[in-house]
């Protein structure tokens, strides 16, 4: 589904990601974990196309999309749920969801996906005419997820979905993430909540200071004491 080959991403002259390679198989739930400043969010932005790498290549379903703008990648089936949710606070829940489907022309499919999202998150249907900015943090995260799903993605990029949420809400969000993955959507998840990420992931990548330091199954990574201490602070 996704191949990232030796990408380097800069902010001005400052390297944020250096020579990073990773791959995600179709149907997989892969995770990138690491401390703040490791380059995790930058990696997702490069995959989405909101940042362009200075070097390297990004392939999606066998096509080289390295130079494609974000809207073109969205039309190809990639969706990013950004850190901090970034919902449209002055629009209603329903309006936020429909914006996620802005590029779609299949009206019946849009209605079907909206019904699926309301099934995943019943509270969003209850509050569909409510301004998004008045929702709780957990409800806003549900809305951000729903808005991303409205684009009908094949590859979903999730950036810190647990950020700032109470543990019980995090648990609920991750149950839905599992359900989304089981529906056939491939997921690349960025998290600082390492324990939660490792519980749901099929494969894990460890980043530190913009570079890939280790990878493997969650069990392999969690059992590497040197990795846990050096890169995860445990």
Average pLDDT, the chain: 92
pLDDT at residue 152, as a whole number: 94
Which of 152, 175, 192 is a domain's end point? 152
CATH of the domain at 50: 3.40.50.300
CB atoms within 10 A of CB 131: 15
145-194 pLDDT, tens digit per residue, is 999 999 999 999 999 998 888 888 999 999 999 999 999 999 999 988 88
User: CA 232 → CA 120, 192, 202, 227, distances in Å?
Assistant: 32, 9, 19, 7
178-234 pLDDT, tens digit per residue, is 999 999 999 999 988 888 899 999 999 999 899 998 899 998 888 876 666 655 555
Q: Give dist(CA 87, CA 124) in Å, integer.
A: 13
pLDDT at residue 61, as a whole number: 97
Q: Do 176 and 233 belong together in one domain? A: yes
Which of 152, 181, 200 is a domain's end point? 152
For the entire predicted model, the pTM comes to 0.91
Q: Do 5 and 69 belong together in one domain? A: yes
pLDDT at residue 223, as a whole number: 82
Which of 117, 152, 187 is a domain's end point? 152
Q: Do 184 and 229 belong together in one domain? A: yes
41-63 pLDDT, tens digit per residue, is 999 999 999 999 999 999 999 99
pLDDT band at 109 (very low <50, low <70, confident <90, very high): very high
Q: Give dist(CA 216, CA 224) in Å, integer.
A: 10
Q: Do 73 and 10 belong together in one domain? A: yes
Q: Do 94 and 167 belong together in one domain? A: no
Strand order in the sheet with 2-11: 14-24, 2-11, 55-60, 63-64
pLDDT at residue 224, as a whole number: 75
How many domains does the chain divide into? 2
Q: Do 38 and 62 belong together in one domain? A: yes
Q: Give dist(CA 183, CA 173) in Å, integer.
A: 15
Query: E strands, 143-226, where?
Result: 155-159, 186-191, 203-208, 211-216
Q: Do 1 and 112 belong together in one domain? A: no
Average pLDDT over residues 4-19: 96
Q: Do 168 and 131 belong together in one domain? A: no
Q: Do 51 and 89 belong together in one domain? A: no
**Does residue 85 or residue 109 have the better pLDDT?**
109
Its domain, for residue 143, covers: 80-152
């Amino acid at each position: 589904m996704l191949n990232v080959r030796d990408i380097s991403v800069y902010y001005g002259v400052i390297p944020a990601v250096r020579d990073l390679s990773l791959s995600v198989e179709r149907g997989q739930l892969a995770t990138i974990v690491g401390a703040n400043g490791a380059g995790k969010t930058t990696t997702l932005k490069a995959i989405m196309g909101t940042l362009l790498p200075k070097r390297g290549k990004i392939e999606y379903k066998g096509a080289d999309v390295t130079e494609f703008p974000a809207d073109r990648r969205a039309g190809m089936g990639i969706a990013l749920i950004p850190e901090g949710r970034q919902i449209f606070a002055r629009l209603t829940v329903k309006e936020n969801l429909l914006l996620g489907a802005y590029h779609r022309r299949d009206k019946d499919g849009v209605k079907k996906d909206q019904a699926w999202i309301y099934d995943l998150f019943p509270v969003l249907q209850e509050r569909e005419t409510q301004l998004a900015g008045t929702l709780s943090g957990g409800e806003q995260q549900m809305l951000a997820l729903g808005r991303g799903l409205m684009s009908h993605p094949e590859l979903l990029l999730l950036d810190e979905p647990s950020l700032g949420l109470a543990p019980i809400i995090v648990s609920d969000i991750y149950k839905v993430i599992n359900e989304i993955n089981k529906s056939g959507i491939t997921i690349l998840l960025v998290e600082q909540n390492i324990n939660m990420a490792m519980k749901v992931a099929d494969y894990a990548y460890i980043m530190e200071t913009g570079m890939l330091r280790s990878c493997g199954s969650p069990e392999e990574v969690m059992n590497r004491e040197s990795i846990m201490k050096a890169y995860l602070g445990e």
